[in-house]
């Protein structure tokens, strides 16, 4: 029992030192001891181990506080890589990401709506390429997938677009590549990326609403993804907002996705205007900016439904940092204003106070970064 406790303390101290070095550009052993309240001997022993593992290196000297100037330590961002893939769009994307979230290599594969075993083979093709390209050891493989993901057992319970049910992806990939494998829902990972690499890094709680062909969200609480009791937290796209509305991919009718996704907006505009030109957000952008009546009506209505969904979140869990990502952000500030007004109209004023709703600044690599962040957090425990 005593031995177990000692081992536990050792692991705890080790993590503490690694995290402290990771959180700084460069830092001396003395400063680590001061910040962690560990003895200088303990810090020195752990640092020696990290130097040996190649995770940390010595990088010049710092300012002297009177005596000998201290040697500074820095985290080796390229010591290991994470192989990440994102299956949430029409194009399967892959990347090798270093320990600071920099993409060192990217690849993609047009999936042409492939499902079932063909989709799985595409995952292997992408990962084979990434694994053979990696020039540093792999800390792990991380997969961002649409659908309900049992993250505890590494099983994709249901991914409609890929036609996967109870897909034991973690086991399959672990057997094939012999490295730790992590998987999670793409929207949950988008939220984690926001926490780890976004512009509000200090926000310990946040919600990310990803709006594209589908709608989903991710919730980060105290720096960790909130997966939910049944791994379906954030599945707001399938909240019914209209009785007997349009049929949805989930089998229900009138879900948020059927009125506020880019797919729904474009489909509605093609029908109303009898114009097949409306195929992407970019095709409606100019009309929206110029105040084209029907286009504004459809787009702003979608914005109000998104506002309603956000208001439900704000009223329930009172998280103040809300980010919106996905192709929808091309619609710019006027669209965001519609969403904000609706949140203010629908939610309790007190809950809304200090709530910030903004577009994510992470760009197209957003989900891949989230996949990397999952390994940095769960395998390397860097945050």
Residues that bind Zn ion (CB under 5 A): 238, 248, 250, 252, 255
Residues in the chain: 383
Please tell me the distance from the alpha carbon of residue 287 to that of residue 79, in angstroms, as a whole number: 49
**To the nearest whole angstrom, how small is the minimum distance from the Cβ of residue 103 to Zn ion?**
33
Nearer to Zn ion, 220 or 255 (CB): 255
Nearer to Zn ion, 83 or 255 (CB): 255
Question: Toward Zn ion, which CB reaches closer, 252 or 267?
Answer: 252
- Strands 56-61 and 138-145, by their bridges, are unpaired
Q: How far apart are the first and last CA of the chain?
A: 28
Shortest Å, Cβ 263 to Zn ion: 12
DSSP H/E element including 321: strand 321-325
CB of 62 to Zn ion, least distance (A): 56
- Specify the residue, 163 or 381, whose C-beta has the smaller distance to Zn ion: 163
Q: Where are the beta strands (DSSP E) in 326-376?
A: 356-359
Q: Are 169 and 113 in contact (CB under 8 A)?
A: no
Both tokens of 206, joined, read 């946040």
* Cα–Cα dist 114/184, whole Å: 20
Least distance from Zn ion to the Cβ atom of residue 240, Å: 8
Strands 27-28 and 71-75: antiparallel
Is residue 382 within 8 Å of residue 195, measured between CB atoms?
A: no
| Comparison of 30 and 250: residue with beta carbon closer to Zn ion | 250
Nearer to Zn ion, 33 or 248 (CB): 248
Q: How far is the CB of 29 from Zn ion (least distance, A)?
A: 55
Which residue in this structure is represented by tokens 């752990």? 46
Closer Cβ to Zn ion, 169 or 255, answer by number: 255
Q: How far is the CB of 24 from Zn ion (least distance, A)?
A: 45
* Residue placing its CB nearer to Zn ion in the complex, 100 or 253: 253
For 288-291, the CB contacts below 8 A with 24+ separation are 288/331, 288/334, 288/335, 289/332, 289/334
**Sheet of 91-98, strands arranged across:** 103-110, 91-98, 81-86, 138-145, 181-185
| Residue found under tokens 């007190």 | 350
DSSP character at residue 135: S
Helix axes 293-317, 332-346, angle to 10 degrees: 50
Which residue lies nearer to Zn ion by CB, 256 or 284?
256
Nearer of residues 248 and 264 to Zn ion, judged by Cβ: 248
Q: How far is the CB of 248 from Zn ion (least distance, A)?
A: 3
Q: How far is the CB of 230 from Zn ion (least distance, A)?
A: 16
Q: Say how far apart CA 36 and CA 182 lie, in whole Å.
A: 29
Closest distance between Zn ion and the C-beta of residue 259, in Å?
11
Closest approach, Cβ 251 to Zn ion, in A, equals 7
What count of other Cβ atoms lies within 10 Å of the Cβ of residue 301? 15
Contact 57, 63 (CB under 8 A): no
């Amino acid at each position: 029992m005593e031995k177990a406790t000692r081992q536990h303390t050792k692991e705890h101290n080790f993590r503490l030192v690694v995290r402290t070095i990771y959180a700084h550009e460069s830092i001396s052993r003395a400063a680590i001891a001061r910040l962690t309240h560990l003895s200088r001997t303990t810090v020195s022993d752990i640092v020696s181990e990290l130097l040996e593992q190649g995770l940390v290196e010595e990088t010049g000297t710092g300012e002297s506080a009177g005596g000998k100037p201290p040697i500074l330590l820095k985290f080796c961002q390229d010591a290991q890589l994470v192989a990440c893939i994102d299956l949430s769009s029409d194009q399967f994307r892959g990347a090798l990401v270093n320990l600071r979230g920099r993409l060192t290599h990217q690849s993609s594969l047009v999936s042409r709506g492939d499902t079932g075993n063909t989709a799985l083979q595409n995952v292997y093709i992408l990962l084979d390429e990434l694994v053979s390209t990696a020039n540093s050891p792999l800390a792990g493989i991380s997969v961002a997938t649409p659908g309900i993901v049992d993250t505890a057992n590494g099983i994709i319970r249901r991914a409609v677009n890929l036609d996967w049910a109870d897909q034991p992806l973690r086991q399959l990939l672990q057997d094939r590549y012999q490295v730790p494998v992590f998987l999670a829902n793409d929207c949950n990972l988008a939220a984690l990326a926001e926490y780890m690499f976004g512009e509000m890094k200090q926000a310990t709680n946040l919600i990310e609403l990803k709006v594209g062909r589908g709608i989903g969200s991710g919730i980060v609480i105290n720096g960790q993804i909130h997966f939910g009791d049944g791994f379906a937290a954030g599945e707001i796209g399938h909240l019914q907002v209209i009785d007997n509305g349009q049929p949805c991919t989930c089998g229900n009718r009138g879900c948020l996705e059927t009125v506020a996704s880019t797919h729904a907006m474009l489909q509605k505009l093609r029908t109303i205007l009898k114009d097949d030109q409306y195929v992407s957000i970019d095709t409606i952008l100019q009309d929206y900016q110029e105040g084209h009546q029907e286009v504004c009506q459809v787009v702003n209505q979608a914005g109000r439904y998104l506002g309603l969904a956000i208001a439900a979140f704000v009223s329930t869990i009172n998280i103040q940092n809300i980010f919106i990502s996905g192709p929808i952000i091309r619609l710019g500030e006027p669209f965001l204003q519609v969403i904000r007004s609706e949140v203010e109209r629908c939610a309790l004023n007190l809950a809304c106070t200090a709530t910030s709703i903004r577009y994510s600044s992470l760009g197209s690599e957003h989900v891949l970064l989230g996949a990397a962040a999952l390994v940095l957090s769960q395998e390397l425990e860097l945050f």
